[in-house]
A and B are shown apart, each in its own frame.
Chain A
Amino acid sequence: MIRALPPAAVFIIGAFLIPFLKGRLKFCYLLALPAVAYLNLLYLPVGQSWKIRFLDYLLVFCRVDRLSLVFGYVFVLVTFIGIVYALQVKDDAQHMAAFCYAGGALGVTFAGDLFSLYLFWEIMALASVFLILAQRTEKARSAAFRYFMWHFFGGVCLLAGIILYVSTRGTIEFAYIGLSDPATYLIFVGFCLNATIFPFHAWLPDAYPRATFTGAVFMSALTTKSAVYILARTFPGAPILIWAGAFMTCFPIFYAVISNDMRRVLSYSLINQIGFMVCGIGIGTQLAINGAVAHAVCHVIYKALLFMSTGAVLHVTGKIRATDLGGLHKTMPFTALCCMIGAASISALPIFSGFISKSMILSAVAEKHQVIVWFMLLFASAGVFHYVGIRVPYFVFFGHDSGIRAQEPPVNMRIAMGIAAFICIFLGVYPAPLYNILPYPVDYEPYTAFHVVGMLQLLMFGALAFIILIRSGNYPAELRAINLDTDWFFRIPGQAFIRFCEHPFKALGRVMDSFILSITAWLRSTPTVSVQIENRVDKFFHGALTALPNLIFNWIRPFKSEINQLSWNLVYILVPFIILLFTLLIISI
């Protein structure tokens, strides 16, 4: 066999062949791509390969070690599951976006230098926007625009940080960075945005519920987990991450309890689960990093499973809000079962996958004697069972009967859910395959009597609280409402700013204009000196000052119309990125 390709290249090149294939051949091709990517991963030589000398710097497209390989495997696996789930979708653009997106995530995972990291980072951000846009609704379009603006902000922070970092350190090697100077803080902010660390988290519950039902599966897996990988690589042991992570585990669960859109509930729980990983990375011991990575792997699978089962409900009923759903287990028993397996895994019930990874993080926190953090994580563990473990299956598949008699989703979607559900249970029962590929040697036994009983007590008495509250009518009712989050701080002032520029500001410009005109008209009746002054005054006021409101208005107007052109604009940005990438790769052959 010739050289193994960079893992990202398989998906990104592969994506561009999709539109040329038809029918059965396309199905086979879509399924074969992740398989090829997997075989390619197996042949990747450990260490650095695909190196290119670019100016004075060394670009490395393949840096393979234990940490990057774990994420590589799970990203390929979830792409396979996601594409099986999405097979019946007749939208090439979506498939292409999904593969470019997964390719970007793989590229980020295997990047060995900051420049190629940034390249893949942007490809990932841009390609994922299409998975929201493909929904083709007005709400999805504006959500996609906001999502893009968030990631644009993160990308700019990252780029600025990288430039500063490279100019001060003189190296573009992508390795341990650690928080020290402004450059590292900027890079940190860029990473934090993708890792949904507070207050940069609001893009996730805003955008994911608006994605297509298949797109959300990819999105739930790739963006945040690649950020987790990067944090584990660059900032392990940063104390700020311990607290950021602990806070992230707690605050989203309150939002999740009062959210009505089921995919928004899952989005908040996604932030909560990332919190566990971020906390583990902050602790930074071998056990903690192992725990964070193991949790990321399990999380990718069970979160994909949860998004698939709720996506299936959305697909067959067209509804996703708790107020509209209920009693679906009668006609969708398989989907209900898969949803419950995913819910049990995220809740870390014994024999499900979350248990074997979350308990590692909890133990690592305890070993560091972080008492408050430990209590916060334990609170979040109980909470997550409460609102995802019970609430999602209860309100969608059980609870009050909504009268909807939807059929099970198509067979490929059921197969995809079945595979994910199987992996959830398999890893929960037999964690050795996962433990063997973790970055550090694992000396940890999750199934001690004390762990199992303690976790069961924690979760089951949480469930008891749920039963008592539901039966006494004290449980917060499902309401048709939305909840404010940190994105309020730019959405409302942003709207107000545009409205201000459109109406009062323009009116002010007109008033000032006529005022200046009347003054100059009055000046014109006096001797010639005044005319010269008038000319100057006129030039200043009429030319510069009164034009300002119009100038600003003209500057922001494109933003409003650009939203409609978003997909084309993204293509214009994405294509040069990919061309640049392949030019570099071809140079290096």
Chain B
Amino acid sequence: MKPKKELTFLDSPENQVKVRKYFYIFLCILLIIDFLIPKHGHFSWEFAPEFYAVYGFVACFCLIYISKVLRLLVKRKEDYYD
């Protein structure tokens, strides 16, 4: 095995930082564009600025922490049923 040859774009930390940087820029664009588009939601809160961004972020945090609690309850060894 030649480890040098196997290095791909994502292996170098600089590139990882670069990818993350572009991702954050993309997020900022999404936040700004929110003020510029016509909105046509069914509920009043859909017209609030950045509603979806906040909800997505909070939802995923909740998801992870609820999962952690769930894991405490239901996690068993792999041979539990054997």
| CB <8 Å contact, B43 and A466 | no
| CB <8 Å contact, B60 and A453 | no
Residue A366 is within 8 A (CB to CB) of chain B in the complex = yes
Question: Which residues of chain A have C-beta atoms less than 8 A from B73's C-beta?
Answer: 484
The contact of A258 among B37, B50, B52, B71, by CB within 8 Å, is B71
Q: A508 CA to B33 CA in the complex, in Å?
A: 76
Residue A483 is within 8 A (CB to CB) of chain B in the complex = yes
| CB <8 Å contact, A454 and B81 | no
Q: A457 CA to B80 CA in the complex, in Å?
A: 41
CB distance from B39 to the nearest CB of A (A): 5
CB distance from B10 to the nearest CB of A (A): 7
Residue B77 is within 8 A (CB to CB) of chain A in the complex = yes
| CB <8 Å contact, A461 and B74 | no
| CB <8 Å contact, B55 and A378 | yes
| CB <8 Å contact, A367 and B60 | no
Interface size on B, residues (CB 8 A): 47
Dominant secondary structure at the A interface? helix
The contact of A383 among B10, B20, B23, B63, by CB within 8 Å, is B63
Question: Which residues of chain B have C-beta atoms less than 8 A from A367's C-beta?
Answer: 42
A257-B67 in contact given A378-B59, A457-B53, A464-B57 (Cβ < 8 Å)? yes
Total number of residue pairs linking A and B with CB closer than 8 Å: 142
A450-B59 in contact given A366-B43, A476-B67 (Cβ < 8 Å)? no
Within 8 A of A (CB), among B25-53: 26-27, 30-31, 33-34, 37-43, 46, 50-53
Residue B68 is within 8 A (CB to CB) of chain A in the complex = yes
| CB <8 Å contact, A383 and B40 | no
Q: A367 CA to B41 CA in the complex, in Å?
A: 10
| CB <8 Å contact, B56 and A382 | yes
CB distance from A126 to the nearest CB of B (A): 24
Within 8 A of B (CB), among A472-513: 474-476, 479-485, 491-492, 495
> Contacts A379-B59, A460-B53, A460-B56 given; 15 further ones with Cβ under 8 A?
A369-B42, A382-B56, A405-B1, A448-B40, A449-B38, A453-B33, A453-B34, A458-B59, A460-B23, A462-B56, A465-B64, A469-B61, A479-B75, A481-B77, A484-B73
A–B complex contacts, Cβ < 8 Å, 18 sampled: A254-B67, A254-B70, A330-B8, A366-B41, A379-B59, A382-B56, A382-B59, A383-B60, A383-B63, A453-B30, A454-B51, A455-B52, A460-B26, A463-B23, A467-B20, A475-B64, A480-B78, A485-B74
